[in-house]
């Protein structure tokens, strides 16, 4: 689920049980500014999220979604399209 007002993505079970949150306001790796949509690929489970203010699409797996970006490295499985 896109939490646009808080610049983050949240994951819930089909029953609405909260699982995890990632992202924070900002322009760095793993940070979001106005995320507006996401979709999950039915073929490989990859998740694509649009970040309007940064004019990019993030592609990642659910497993790596909570990864830390403090060291400035892009974890395997994440791709940023400027």
CA distances to 19, 26, 57, 73 from 15, rounded to whole Å, are: 11, 31, 28, 34
For residue 25, the enclosing domain spans: 2-81
Residues 2-11 pLDDT 10s: 888 999 888 8
Residues 1-59 pLDDT 10s: 888 899 988 888 888 888 888 778 888 877 889 988 888 887 877 778 888 888 888 87
Tokens of 29: 């790796």
* Single pTM value for the model: 0.64
Number of domains observed in the structure of the chain: 1
Residue 67: what pLDDT?
Answer: 44
Residue 70: what pLDDT?
Answer: 44
Q: What's the mean pLDDT in 60-70? A: 51
Residues in the chain: 82
């Amino acid at each position: 689920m896109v939490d646009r007002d808080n610049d983050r993505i949240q994951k819930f079970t089909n029953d609405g049980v909260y699982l995890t949150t990632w992202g924070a306001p900002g322009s760095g790796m793993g940070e979001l500014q106005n995320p507006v949509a996401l979709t999950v690929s039915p073929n490989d489970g990859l998740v694509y999220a649009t970040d309007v203010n940064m004019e990019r699409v993030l592609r990642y797996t659910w497993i790596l979604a909570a990864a830390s970006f403090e060291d400035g490295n892009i974890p395997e499985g994440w791709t940023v399209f400027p």
